[in-house]
Amino acid sequence: MTGDLSLMCPEFVQSFFGGVAASGAITAALRFFTKAVFENSRDGLRKGAMLFSSISCFFELLCVLLYALVFPKLPIVKFYRSKAASEGSQTVTADLAAGGIKSLPNPLAEEDGVVERLNNKQLLHENMDYALDMFLVYVLTLSIFPGFLAEDTGSHSLGSWYVLVLIASFNVSDLIGRYLPLVEQMKLTSRTGLLTAAISRFLLVPAFYFTAKYGDQGWMIMLTSLLGLSNGHLTVSVLTEAPKGYKGPEQNALGNLLVLFLLAGIFVGAVSDWLWLIGKGW
């Protein structure tokens, strides 16, 4: 999906990832609802989990159907996919067929016999800093959220609601952060600035450690909000800036490469989350 949107326009990428964050915020709200309704009932946790899962699965299936059946037929999608095909993209042929459009002839290919485009290795070499940004952002985020927030924040006046408040704070802040780049003055476009911001986020690790140990819940909520805000802002900034200046096929490939590094960051971050347990009997 990200590669598909990357060959279109940056606003689509921003909207998509804004929607991803919105789903997280809605999920947090749904968890508040199920906890409030079923907290004191018999098998409340089981009932809440079943309702939560049922609603989530319904919307997930709805999104899959919309993407498969409706998205390819939108005029704006047909336009950008046709444009990418005319620039030599081979991966959108099936997508165009799904939208009822036959593959368009490529005038460049007819004249030169081949369409020049950067291969994946060349794209990665030119955009290694962007790929590193994505990796570092999600390593840091997943090393703290949600595992550390759920287990190592101590006992506070909010009781069993405390973890839900922290997770909701992250999700809402992440949503806000993904819309901040729409404000031109707040958009981060410098490649050096993006990498510096991604690395500087690791200062949040000692900040969370000492806040969980010595601080109160207000400071923890503030740090969690900062984590979400920076996560959303950097994600959208990188994914909207990186594809600029490339042809459609290259934008498609670059979007997919960046998501690959994003997923690698999620994996490493989730594994790193266990490091918080060092010194606690492990």
Share of the chain above pLDDT 70, in %: 86
Looking at the predicted structure, is the pLDDT value of residue 214 above 80?
Answer: yes
64-108 per-position pLDDT tens digit = 999 888 888 888 888 888 887 777 766 666 565 555 565 555 544
243-261 per-position pLDDT tens digit = 988 888 888 889 999 999 9
Looking at the predicted structure, is the pLDDT value of residue 203 above 50?
Answer: yes
Confidence of residue 281 (pLDDT cuts 50, 70, 90): low
pLDDT at 109: 46
pLDDT at 60: 87
Distance, in Å, from the CA atom of 236 to the CA atom of 134, rounded to the nearest integer, reads: 10
Range among 11-15, 81-85, 143-147, 226-230 rated most confident: 226-230
pLDDT at 113: 47
136-163 per-position pLDDT tens digit = 999 999 999 887 877 755 566 777 788 8
Kindly report the backbone phi and psi dihedral angles of residue 244, in degrees, each rounded to the nearest multiple of 5, phi listed first. -65, 135
Looking at the predicted structure, is the pLDDT value of residue 112 above 80?
Answer: no
Closest CA to 56 of 67, 68, 48: 48
Looking at the predicted structure, is the pLDDT value of residue 169 above 90?
Answer: yes
Mean pLDDT of 33-53: 78
Mean pLDDT of 37-43: 75
Mean pLDDT of 193-211: 93
Q: Tell the residue number behind the tokens 């290919």, with chain if given.
A: 109
Distance, in Å, from the CA atom of 81 to the CA atom of 89, rounded to the nearest integer, reads: 9
Range among 69-78, 129-138, 179-188 rated most confident: 129-138
Of the two residues 5 and 228, the one the predictor is more confident about is: 228
H helices present in 117-216, as ranges: 120-126, 128-144, 147-151, 162-179, 191-200, 204-214
As a whole number, the mean pLDDT across the chain is: 84
pLDDT at 108: 47
Looking at the predicted structure, is the pLDDT value of residue 277 above 70?
Answer: no
pLDDT at 110: 44
Q: Please report, for residues 55, 134, 154, 167, 178, the alpha-carbon distance to residue 24 in angstroms, rounded to integers and kept in the order given.
A: 13, 19, 24, 9, 12
Can you list the positions of beta strands (E) in 16-160? none
Of the two residues 43 and 28, the one the predictor is more confident about is: 28
Looking at the predicted structure, is the pLDDT value of residue 215 above 60?
Answer: yes
Looking at the predicted structure, is the pLDDT value of residue 19 above 70?
Answer: yes
Distance, in Å, from the CA atom of 202 to the CA atom of 131, rounded to the nearest integer, reads: 17
Q: Which of the residue ranges 94-98, 128-132, 191-195, 204-208 would you say has the lowest mean pLDDT?
A: 94-98
Distance, in Å, from the CA atom of 79 to the CA atom of 82, rounded to the nearest integer, reads: 5
Distance, in Å, from the CA atom of 258 to the CA atom of 133, rounded to the nearest integer, reads: 9
pTM of the model: 0.85
Of the two residues 185 and 280, the one the predictor is more confident about is: 185
Q: Please report, for residues 77, 124, 236, the alpha-carbon distance to residue 23 in angstroms, rounded to integers and kept in the order given.
A: 23, 30, 16
Distance, in Å, from the CA atom of 268 to the CA atom of 256, rounded to the nearest integer, reads: 18
